[in-house]
Amino acid sequence: MTRRVEVLRIAVSWLSMALIKSVASTLSLEPSADVAILEYRPDFNLGAQDDLPAGTLGVLAGTTRSRVLLRFDLTPLPSGARVTSASLRVTVTRTPDEGGANSQFGLHRVLRPWSEGTQRGGPPGGALAQTDECTWFLRGPAFEPWAIPGGEPGVDYADDPSSTERILGRGAYEFEFGPVELAEIQAWIDRPDTNFGWMLKTQSEQVPRSARRFGSRENSDPGLRPRLNLVFSEAPTPDAPVLLGLELDPAPPKVHFRAQPGIRYTLEFSEDPAARTWRALGPALTTNATSIVTLTDSTPSASLHRFYRVEASP
């Protein structure tokens, strides 16, 4: 009889349960690193510039190309977060003096590591790269080169863009991401070691005077800095299950409770709850719908007392 009272006392202490819901949240991030690489100054690094060039220069500059690399640290997202919407805002701060060619710009996933660097200077910006700094020739780390100068599609960056946007004059532009591209961002969240960010480049590099300057993360005006805006759902945090009863006769002991869908439930026992030592009894149980379920202790015990609890986890 003593055993029944003490076991039930443990069960009663768990009689609370809230509905388990996913919570939609937002997060806005500035780049953790950004830099431009210039064919015009292939040994220069621009890691600390206020704005960064991307596009193709005019004939007087040899129609040379420039590209911007951006990377965002996604580790601030909570564990289990699932991205449902994303957009990247960039701001054009300067255009060619006498107009210029409008063009479609694309964000291409970078496939290999690169380093930002710390150089800055007057037009066209930057200074001679130092050790481990990114340039048109080098990705940066340990003087590793791009597969070809400026990066090779399919090797250094994805051939197809993740998002495109027509870039005209000064102002802010939003790159939107569809379901496939959201899955790419999710993969970066799940595997941070694969996150090398994007390369921003015009899709018409053969057209002169498409170059634009974009505000960088070092820009003194926060409104001109790139910003990745994310909407995500957080993994549900289960509360204590609603325990409905403990059945001791006939043996073996059974615990009845109300379960929520998509949650793993495990029956645990302890012979001394004060010691906070609990052991699992059998595999976890899940259900596809809200229902009353039973977990059974089929392991014999010589102990006079055995206390039970049900643990819930996502």
Q: What pLDDT does residue 206 have?
A: 95
Same domain, 141 and 189: yes
Split into its structural domains, the chain has a count of 2
Query: Could you tell me if 179 and 121 are in contact, meaning their C-beta atoms sit under 8 angstroms apart?
Result: no
Q: What pLDDT does residue 5 have?
A: 30
Give the span between the Cα atoms of 308 and 240, in whole angstroms.
13
Show which of 213, 234, 255 is a domain's final residue.
234
Which pLDDT tens digit goes with each residue over 168-223? 999 999 999 999 999 999 999 999 999 999 999 999 999 999 999 999 999 999 99
Q: What pLDDT does residue 2 have?
A: 30
Same domain, 224 and 280: no
- Residue 7 pLDDT > 80: no
Give 3's Cβ-side CA count (13 Å radius): 14
Show which of 187, 210, 234 is a domain's final residue.
234
Count of Cβ atoms closer than 10 Å to residue 212 Cβ = 30
239 falls in which pLDDT band (50, 70, 90)? Answer: low
Give the span between the Cα atoms of 242 and 257, in whole angstroms.
5
Q: What pLDDT does residue 23 have?
A: 55
3 state SS of 194: helix
Phi, psi dihedral angles at 222 (to 5 degrees): -55, -30
- Residue 11 pLDDT > 80: no
Which pLDDT tens digit goes with each residue over 59-88? 989 999 999 999 999 999 988 889 999 999
Same domain, 161 and 261: no
Stretch 264-271: mean pLDDT: 85
- The parent domain of residue 169 ranges over 23-234
Nearest to 228 by CA among 18, 56, 33, 96: 33
- Residue 20 pLDDT > 70: no
Show which of 215, 234, 253 is a domain's final residue.
234
Stretch 147-153: mean pLDDT: 98
Same domain, 87 and 204: yes
**Which tokens go with 185?**
């961002």
Same domain, 85 and 170: yes
Contacts of 276 (CB under 8 A, 6+ apart): 270
Same domain, 12 and 43: no
Measuring CA to CA, how many Å separate 303 from each of 3, 5, 249, 311?
Answer: 10, 15, 17, 22
**Which tokens go with 207?**
């057209």
Stretch 18-32: mean pLDDT: 72
**C-alpha angle with apex 142: 50 to 128, nearest 5 degrees?**
40
Same domain, 109 and 247: no
| Highest-confidence segment of 100-104, 140-144, 194-198 | 194-198
Q: What pLDDT does residue 303 have?
A: 63
3 state SS of 310: strand
Query: Could you tell me if 265 and 255 are in contact, meaning their C-beta atoms sit under 8 angstroms apart?
Result: no
Same domain, 6 and 29: no
Give the span between the Cα atoms of 39 and 150, in whole angstroms.
7
Same domain, 213 and 92: yes
Question: Residue 32 belongs to what H/E stretch?
Answer: none
Residue-wise DSSP of 72-119: ---TTSPTT-EEEEEEEEEEEEE--TT----EEEEEEEB-S-------
β-strand partners of 148? none
Stretch 287-308: mean pLDDT: 79
Measuring CA to CA, how many Å separate 52 from each of 32, 101, 141, 223?
Answer: 15, 18, 21, 15
Same domain, 226 and 302: no
Fill in the DSSP letter of residue 239. -
β-strand partners of 146? none
* pTM score over 0.75: no
Stretch 119-139: mean pLDDT: 95
Q: Mean pLDDT score of the chain, rounded to an integer?
A: 87
**Which tokens go with 150?**
């400026």
Same domain, 174 and 211: yes
Same domain, 133 and 177: yes
Give the span between the Cα atoms of 51 and 226, in whole angstroms.
10
